[in-house]
Chain A
Amino acid sequence: MAWYVLRRVLQMIPVFFGATFLVYFLVFSMPGDPIAALGGNKPLSPAVQDRLRAEYNLDEPFIVQYLLYLQGLAQGDFGTTFAGRPVIDDIRRAFPVTARLALVAIVFEAVFGIIAGVISGLRKGTWIDSTLLVTSILVIAVPTFVIGFVAQFVFGVKLGLVTINVGANVTWMNLLLPGMVLGAVSFAYVLRLTRTQITETMTADHVRTATAKGLSRPRVITVHILRNSLIPVVTFLGVDLGQLMGGAIVTEGIFNIPGLGFNLFDAIQRGESTKMVSMVTLLVIIFIISNLLIDLLYALLDPRIRYDARK
């Protein structure tokens, strides 16, 4: 285990530099001049523009800009927005919102996806199995923004059950519908994955042996089929959580939720390089760490997995 964790942590170093460099480079190459655009219809005087450029190191060559940015990071400084706020403040405000939304989504897809998948798998070939499968294909096929707008229209506008515009009012209740929209596609994947795993495990030799011992059907299902089937599902959910933490530009946009995705989209539109790079880097790190945690969790769930197995 120690070997494995060490190797994985070391792997994060090149990923970190690679990701920041790539994002920085892409932002640098973006067309348009963010400083010139700051003034909108009333252009800033060249003197002010030059001062701003110097302040944000935009007059330096690319590699110097990048190194200065890294230097700041090393001192815990994520940079400043054009409006003069530290980027870290924006992140602090947006992150809890996204984390909450991701949690709602993951709970939704895990609970309903697994239940539906188990029912589907145990009753393979029946009408309920077919209905669930068709539903899942439908959910996967329809783009998230369509599901989002339709849900918003039906439950918010027509039925008046939920708030259409979340805004600053980020309560669990208000995140319920956005969370379900965000988790819809993954719900379908969880359903299908669980179903496949269950049908496969049901025909495993050890399940027949368990039956031959004289165990009751419910016990065979819960003890010998469910646990074995759910390991890959848990892995999928883990990877998905990492992705959800990265914010959901579309869903947060539809419901006007001030999370990471929303902020990132805003930063891209304004060409705020420091904010963009900092946020993307943060997302990359969250993703790497959550992936490592999933792999370690995997070893906990399955006693056969030993990352430093003696060969």
Chain B
Amino acid sequence: MSYDPNFPHASSEYAEEPTTEPTDPRDEDSAEEAQERLSQVHATAGGTSGAVHGWDPDRPLLEVTDLDITFTTSGGEVPAVRGANLTVYPGQTVAIVGESGSGKTTTAMSVAGLLASNGRVSGGSIVFQDEDVSKASGKRIRQLRGDEIGMVPQDPMSNLNPLWKIGFQIKESLTANKVAKGKAADKRVVELLEEAGLPDAARRAKQYPHEFSGGMRQRALIAMGLAARPSLLIADEPTSALDVTVQRQILDHLDVLTGQLGIAVLLITHDLGLAAERAQHLVVMYRGQVVESGPALEILQNPQHPYTQRLIAAAPSLSSQRMVSSLHNRDEEPAGGRQPARAGRTDDVIVAENLTRVFDIRGGAPWVKAAPFTAVDDVSFTLKRGTTLGIVGESGSGKSTVAQMVLGLLPPTSGRVLFEGQDIGEKSKQELFALRRLMQPVFQNPYGSIDPTYSIFRTIEEPLRLHGTRSRSEREIRVRELLDQVALPAATMQRYPNELSGGQRQRIAVARALALRPEVLVLDEAVSALDVLVQDQVLALLNDLQAELDLSYVFITHDLAVVRQIADRTMVMETGRVVEHGATEEVFRSPQQEYTRRLLDAIPGGSIPLAGSGR
């Protein structure tokens, strides 16, 4: 299809409207507003969704049959997708759900002919509008891309060319698909950005990607994917790299846009809750095969395949309980009873008093004055022994800065941190070194926090060596014990990080943190980079370890759903300040602040009733 200037799509009608001031400080537009704008536009357009594309709504737009995809690697032919089937009708949203490596992205990319150069369709067919695109010529596929099959990619950080202005990159899509060119295209770019919910679009179009936040970039990518009005939009994890609240706004917006324009969506996600909320039809993939497909609610409430059942059980967004370790009963066992008492042990392991951290930001030139920036503002909390404190907030809320101050890695501007009643700010270097033994961090990225050139043994024994376990045999015994604690075989010792999966690496990171028998673990987004099933396993492991070793956790995350599973108390942070602080159940049952409510609402799939969950 082409852009007809007489056909009032979501176009200039609302461009002249006075722009409503966004309420959100991060320039994010609310979904209701977008809905309102679009329905106005739609009313003027007077069309129905099916009419936009002129494809019979009862015939499948896309029909994938017995699809096999093979990759040629140095180790030979590797099948990535085996016998996959799926159907998308015009205007319908279909979600492919699965963990990383399940073949969901590969399947979707093959539809647009975008497989990596070593991949090929080795069997089956991909029929798009009565035409098998798997056998189409390169020229034909280029014709289809953009104006028939659009794409919104996964990672907004890496999917825009950093060297070209946003407007230029969207305009390319218009000119390449002969929708508009020259001045008209420039004007259209601004309209498209506005339509995607980007305020101040005319100015924004002239900026570079690095001047955009993640959410804004994703909106630009949506504008790009929809620019030539495709009939099918492939959305590959379009929001998994974003904060939950932004995630919700963008998905809502995408829903509204594709709904109004009658665009079918093939949504790829690892989050079952999100898929169920957004799609009418689900396709569950596991190790290259479709294991289950059907109407979303039906699958969620009555999953047939064991993998789907596991996926549902693990989805943090769908469960509501604090995990209880099988190892002990939290109510009966008094905290601190198992470990031999160490001198100076107190029930309040960590007390933070009025922590504030101000950073000086240098001006653009020697004569411009430095501007102070308050990253953390008057934060106080108490961590009781054997419990977990969850610190929740979006990126930039100051939660990681709090973690650094607690660990004694960053001195607070004012306020203090007491570890078992002693101010860590007053400790000497040696005392701090000894203290670090008792307080260990685990970081988000298991790929970045483990040295790839160290064997697993060396990674775990390093802290032991540093803190004076002299004999190698003693260290080896301890490493074996630790691997056993994190449920990895002792043979893992000889292996290297690149041979392990993300979940295994995170277990190694936990083992290393536990090596010195600490009392406190500071877990900074420790499970955020993991797939749901693996995330669930690591959370269960952390929970068991807590019960077994009487550990106290400071658990930092942007994901409220995870906090509900692991934290006893929850502290919600926004722009450096604590906006809510209380027992986790209370925070979830009756959030006092608007901000917390917004975070809670943003959990995908939170409102979907599950069979047997009692909600």
Contacts and interface: CB of A to CB of B under 8 A. Distances in A.
Most B Cβ at <10 Å: residue of A211, A216, A219: A211
A228 interface: yes
A240 B349 CA distance: 59
B361 A210 contact: no
Interface stretch (B140-148, B335-343, B534-542): B140-148
Given A210-B161, A212-B145, A223-B164, A304 B150 contact: no
A38 to B, nearest CB: 52
A191 B602 CA distance: 51
Q: Which size bracket describes the interface of B in this complex?
A: 35 or more
B128 to A, nearest CB: 14
Interface string B108-126: 0000101010000000000
Interface stretch (A63-71, A142-150, A199-207, A248-256): A199-207
Contacts of A206: 158-162
Contact of A303 (B146, B158, B163, B361): B163
A303 B145 contact: no
Contact of B208 (A2, A6, A219, A303): A303
Interface residues of A, number: 31
A301 B224 CA distance: 24
Interface in A276-311: 301-304, 308, 310-311
A304 B144 CA distance: 33
Interface string A203-247: 111111111111111010001100110000000000000000000
B143 A214 contact: yes
A304 B208 contact: yes
B109 to A, nearest CB: 8
Given A219-B176, A303-B163, A213 B224 contact: yes
A227 B163 contact: yes
B221 A212 contact: no
A3 interface: yes
Given A203-B116, A208-B153, A303-B163, A214 B365 contact: no
B145 A304 contact: no
A284 to B, nearest CB: 26
A243 B169 CA distance: 38
Contact of A214 (B142, B162, B221, B362): B142
Contacts of A207: 161
B306 interface: no
A214 B173 contact: yes
A228 B163 contact: yes
A208, A214, A311 interface centre (most CB from chain B within 10 Å): A214
B159 A308 contact: no
B162 A209 contact: no
A201 to B, nearest CB: 10
B358 to A, nearest CB: 13
Given A2-B365, A208-B153, A214-B173, 7 more contacts: A3-B365, A206-B160, A213-B173, A213-B176, A214-B176, A214-B228, A302-B162
30 contacts: A3-B366, A203-B116, A205-B153, A205-B158, A206-B158, A206-B159, A206-B160, A206-B161, A206-B162, A208-B114, A209-B159, A209-B221, A210-B169, A211-B114, A212-B149, A212-B153, A213-B145, A213-B172, A213-B176, A213-B224, A214-B145, A214-B173, A216-B176, A219-B176, A301-B163, A302-B162, A304-B162, A308-B362, A308-B365, A310-B362
Interface of B: 112, 114, 116, 138, 142-147, 149-151, 153, 155, 158-164, 169, 172-173, 176-177, 208, 210, 221, 224-225, 227-228, 359, 361-362, 364-366
